[in-house]
Amino acid sequence: MVKHILFDFDGTLVDSRALLVKLYNEMAAQYQFRMIRDQDLALLRSLSISERVNRLGVPVLQIPKLVVAGRQMYQDNIRALHIVPGMKEVIARISAQGIRSSILSSNSEGNIRTFLKNNRMDGAFKEIISAKHLFGKHHSIRKVMKQWGTPPSKMIYVGDELRDIEACQKLGVPIIAVTWGYDSPRLLLSGKPDYLVNSPNELMRTLLALT
């Protein structure tokens, strides 16, 4: 039985795709990367994050600098963001069941806490954990497991990207992949997640069955 749930933030809990495309295009204009057009979105959702970086011509060595700049731009626009419809109810139901839930995200803790406060969800999560490794989220998950003293079988991760699936598989942590985030359902299925859900209601049913 699962005792602790780790939620990803952008894409899974927060509908931030449009904002992140806008912020990326602002940086692309400044650094002369390829910009994202509306007609590019479906293809980009079908690619892994490393494949997207290659297709857009973003130098890997510049990614850390861009992430820092992007987080500041994100913070400046955070009031425009909204929680994915239905996810607030999922979190409330899980909390009512006495299940511990936390956020693990490559976004900054400050941005996440500001969003939660703006949406009156300040006390919804036990912890906000900022993952430092964009391409190695398993390092952050392993650190969390060690801090909690929790075996993989007692945890579950809820995420929306192939890299979330790959990180969990390296550690034996079960994962529920949601289809309304950044990666397409086909890309998610290619990673063979333990569960694939298409709506917050389906996610709630899956979580309640596991806890």
Distance CA 167, CA 164 (A): 5
Residue 134 is predicted with a pLDDT of 61
The reported pLDDT for the residue numbered 89 is 95
Which amino acid is present at 79?
Answer: R
pLDDT of residue 146: 87
DSSP 32-79: TPPPPPGGGHHHHHTS-HHHHHHHHT--GGGHHHHHHHHHHHHHHTGG
pLDDT per residue over 9-44, tens digit each?
Answer: 999 999 998 999 999 999 999 988 999 999 999 999
Residues 99-149 pLDDT 10s: 889 999 988 899 999 999 999 998 899 899 887 666 678 888 888 888 888
Average pLDDT in the 163-190 region? 96
Q: Give the separation between CA 47 and CA 43, rounded to whole angstroms.
A: 7
pLDDT in tens, 30-81: 988 999 999 999 999 999 888 999 999 998 888 888 888 888 899 899 988 9
User: Residue 67 has what pLDDT?
Assistant: 84
Reading the block at residue 138, the tokens are 């398993």
Give the distance, in angstroms, between the CA of residue 19 and the centroid of all CA atoms in the same chain. Answer: 15
The candidate with the shortest Cα–Cα distance to 158, out of 118, 196, 111, is 196
Q: 102 pairs with which residues across the strands?
A: 6
Residue whose token pair is 């909690």: 148
- 190 Cα distance to chain centroid: 18
The four Cα atoms 93, 189, 9, 152 give a dihedral, to 10 degrees, of 70
Q: Determine the Cα–Cα distance for residues 37 and 48; give it in Å rounded to an integer.
A: 18
Is residue 23 within 8 Å of 70, Cβ to Cβ?
yes
**Contact between residue 57 and residue 32 where contact means Cβ atoms under 8 Å apart:** no
Q: Please, which residues bridge with residue 130 across strands? A: 105
In eight-state DSSP terms, residue 62 is G
pLDDT at 139 (0 to 100): 87
Two tokens, residue 152: 């993989």
